[in-house]
Structure 1
Amino acid sequence: MKFLRLVLPGVTMIAVTYGLARFSFGLLLPEVNKSLEMTELVSGIISSLFYLAYCFTIILSTVITTKEGPRRMIISAGLSAFVGLLLISIATNVWVLALGVLFAGGSTGLVSPPYGAAISLWIKEHKQGKANTWINSGTSFGIALSGVGASFLTSDWRLTYFIYAILTLLIVIWNFQAIPKAGTKPPKLRLKKGNLSIRGVKGSNPLILASLTLGFSTAAFWTFSRSFIEVSGNYSDWQLSGFWIVIGLFGVLGGFSGSLVERKGLPFVYKLGGMSIASSSIILSITSGNWFMSYISAGIFGCAYIFLTGVLLVWGIRVFFTNASLGIGVPFLLLAVGQVIGSIFAGWFIGAWGYVTTFIIYGLVGMAAILMGPKKE
């Protein structure tokens, strides 16, 4: 299969599921809050549904992809994102909004395993690393695109989400045409029988604890950073959207984590990523009223988040070296679990203590995660 025939629709599918359906919510949350009269605690609970849905769907998608191939799950992921975005666009109360969030968040779990499988099945081996890098970069492109879109439509979040839904439907159609049908699925795609337990695996406990803690520490930034700077300074609409665009654009730089691990080693690179993710929250807590420093914080966070997901991927595969599927699934699943818990607590903390204290706390949690990293290669 030609490289671009799979990679280009893959980049756009990741962009709409992760960038538009999942991570754009934090950008538009202030307008949603005002319209639906939600408290910060309710906002945090609803935001946690993105990650909760991801936890369930990534397991479901892994099983079905292994049995049937990637095509069905890729199309299902796009349709789930479309339905979620459409429901959010017509939401008149928190219940419809929550349902839309579940569909939108579930799309990211559905799409991750099948595209990994599709690359291994239909892209030549020496090009698979490049294909994975490009497709994963779709998250950053989607985040940047959501910022650009919001800069023109920020006052009408329903219209923004409706446009995102239509764009997603077009990309689903593109993927439907591009992904080979079931009849072309090679017979080698089978679930390998083996031990799927994580108990007793050397080095698994630090990986689990670090993934949970890092997920918790990033939840406040993803959900409430845009709300934070809006109430802290005199920002124009385009400056608020620009904050999100910076997160997306600098996220592309995080794709270099794999090569840096090879050069500097896993322990050093993990500490670098953890320090960066923690400092972004602390910088924002101190300088949220200054647009330049807020943009610096956004750039550090965007780069560090994509960077750290790559580091966790490498670390997981090294820990579960006898079962690579666990090496990929365990850290990403627990990262999402940490974000579920972190989103709920972030809304509660902000309501009780305010944004500044909350972001300092989450920055300190990120610092604590550094101590949980790998000690040796």
Structure 2
Amino acid sequence: MKRTLQPRTRQAGPLFAVGAVALIAATYGLARLGYGLFLPAFSTAFTLSPTVGGLLASGTSVLYCAAALAGFRYAPSRPRLMTLLAGTTAALGSAGIAAAQSTLLFSGAVLVAGVGAGFASPALVELVQRNTADEDQKKLQSVVNSGTGFGVVTAGILALGFGTSWRLAWVLIAVITLAAMIGVLRADTSKDLSASDRSSNDAGQPPRALTARTLRRPVTAAFIFGTGSAAVWVHGRTLLENQGGLPSAVTAGAWIALGLGGAAAVLAAPWLARHRTRTTWRVTVLAVAAATGAFAAAPHLAALSFTASALFGLAYTSATSVLIIWAGRVSTSSAAGTSVLFTSLVLGQSAGSALTGALIDAGGFGPAFLSAAVVCAVGALGFAPRGEQR
């Protein structure tokens, strides 16, 4: 698809890439996904019931979608503002979690902390476009997206290292988030471009080429992928502990392995950039399906659980990078397209969480996880990108 005119690109230095990776790590892996890792400690401190804990997780997903839709509207023309919102909401929410003395204040802080991730992806997709030469953009988009894995690793280390001192851990998360945001904004070279250079992006309107027809296939694929991948994200640790009998320290280690796999997706960036999206989508989502099935195969074997976790993290993060690349192929604005596809992904995860939970209650973990694996396989084979896109 032919793109609209883009502003003159200036190559940003390594600080921009490091800051962008760190901001994704902070907003996704720490401020948003860190909630689940710290949930046992939170439940003790605030006497959270499983129902309340689940409602908070659902609430963060709803607000994530709202922020992502705001990114659809404004990230193409105001990426620095969206970056500022991403960092400040995640940092303020994290600081609020650290300071909260009541369940009400804690719940509000969790919701605020989870909003930042919704702003971050579309903002950074746009800033990468503005700060990177055309031939390097797909590679750097994948590198930045791998930040989620680094964040999950850091969250796991903090959960193990701080234990009952979880408030200090969340102070550190707030500081890391602010530092990453400042690093991105300082290293962004597009802020120095003239108004005429940016005029094509400053119209303030969503791209007209982003239609239901062009988005139907990728939106469906993202939703199905989210539905299938939710089993591991939401119920994976419960499977390993309840079905496999593994101690919580070991399951936390498995989540660190998952994060390391996600961080390793940075090594897959050149491969993702070289190959067709049709190929990369099928390979990465089928790998998620295989890892999901492996979780249920022998949850009592720590070595297999660690391997499955690492494969899941690598494949899942790479698949979301493919979604970013795919968004750039169906839209004149990768930022707006990414907002829509990631919103569909999160909505699919919300549906998948509930469906997997119901299947676990009805037939146990094994059938539920195998069903999730099948759903991922359907998304990989039945809804891959069409054509010869690169």
Match of 1:70 among 51, 69, 79: 79
State which of 337, 353, 358 in structure 2 corresponds to 1:343.
353
Question: 2:202 maps to what in 1?
Answer: 190
Select the residue among 2, 6, 9 that pairs with 2:19. 9
Counterpart of 2:175 in structure 1 is 166
Q: Which moved more, 1:258-267 or 1:301-310?
A: 258-267
Alignment of 1:71-150 (within 5 A): 71-91=80-100, 95-150=104-159
Q: Is the 8 A contact 1:47 1:343 kept in 2?
A: no
Amino acid at match of 1:30: P
Q: Report the identity percentage.
A: 25
Q: Distance in 2 between matches of 1:351 and 1:33?
A: 22
1:250 is paired with a residue of what secondary structure? helix
- In the other structure, the counterpart of 1:207 is 218
**How far apart, CA to CA, are the structure 2 residues paired with 1:350 and 1:37?**
25
Number of the residue aligned with 1:314: 325
Structure 1 residue runs without a partner (length 5+): none
**1:363 is the counterpart of 2:373:** yes
- Which stretch of the first structure deviates more once superposed, 206-215 or 352-361? 352-361
Give the distance between the partners of 1:349 and 1:186, measured in 2 at CA: 55
Describe the shift of the 1:315–1:62 C-alpha distance in structure 2 as closer, same or farther (beyond 3 A).
closer
Which of 20, 36, 41 lines up with 2:30 in the alignment? 20
Looking at structure 2, the residues matched to 262 and 163 of structure 1 have their Cα atoms a distance apart, in angstroms, of 34
Q: Which moved more, 1:322-331 or 1:110-119?
A: 322-331
Query: What SS is found at the alignment partner of 2:224?
Result: helix
Aligned residue for 1:200, secondary structure, equals: helix
Give a deviation string over 1:334-358, Cα, whole Å, max 9, x none.
1111122223444555566554443
Give the Å deviation of 1:11.
2.0
- Whole-angstrom distance in 1 between the partners of 2:130 and 2:332: 20
The answer to whether the 8 Å contact 2:12/2:187 transfers is no
Q: Specify every segment of 5 or more residues in structure 2 that has no aligned partner in the other structure, as ranges.
A: 1-10
Once residues 139 and 185 of structure 2 are traced to their aligned partners in structure 1, the CA distance between those partners, rounded to angstroms, is 23
The offset of 1:175, in angstroms, is 4.5
Query: Which segment drifts farther, 179-188 or 151-160?
Result: 179-188
Contact 1:75–1:175 at 8 Å: present in 2 too?
A: no
Task: Name the CA distance, whole Å, in 2 between partners of 1:9 and 1:35.
Answer: 33
The superposition leaves residues 243-286 of structure 1 with CA deviations (integer Å, 9 ceiling, x where unpaired) of 12211111133346564456664334322222221222221123
Whole-Å Cα distance in 2 between the matches of residues 257 and 44 of structure 1? 33
Contact 2:223 2:348 in 1 (8 A): yes
Matched, 1:240 2:251: yes
Distance in 2 between the 1:331 and 1:157 partners?
33
Give the TM-score normalised by the residue count of structure 1.
0.85
Distance (whole Å) between structure 1 residues aligned to residue 29 and residue 270 of structure 2? 24
Question: What letter matches 2:30 in structure 1?
Answer: L
* Residue equivalent to 2:163: 154
Cross-structure match for 1:222? 233
Which stretch has the larger CA shift, 270-279 or 104-113?
Answer: 270-279
TM-score (norm 2): 0.82
* Range moving further from structure 2, 109-118 or 185-194: 185-194
The 3 A distance-change label for structure 1 pair 267 and 179 is: closer
Q: Deviations over 1:141-172 (max 9, x none)?
A: 11111112122123444443233223333444
The amino acid of 2:288's aligned partner reads I
CA separation in 2, counterparts of 1:93 and 1:100?
A: 11
1:281 counterpart residue number: 292
Tell me how far apart the structure 1 counterparts of residues 160 and 326 of structure 2 sit (CA, whole Å): 38
Residues 174, 275 of structure 1: CA spacing in aligned structure 2 closer, same or farther, 3 A cutoff?
A: closer
How many matched pairs?
Answer: 373
Structure 1 residues 115 and 265: alpha-carbon distance in aligned structure 2, compared to 1, 3 A threshold: closer
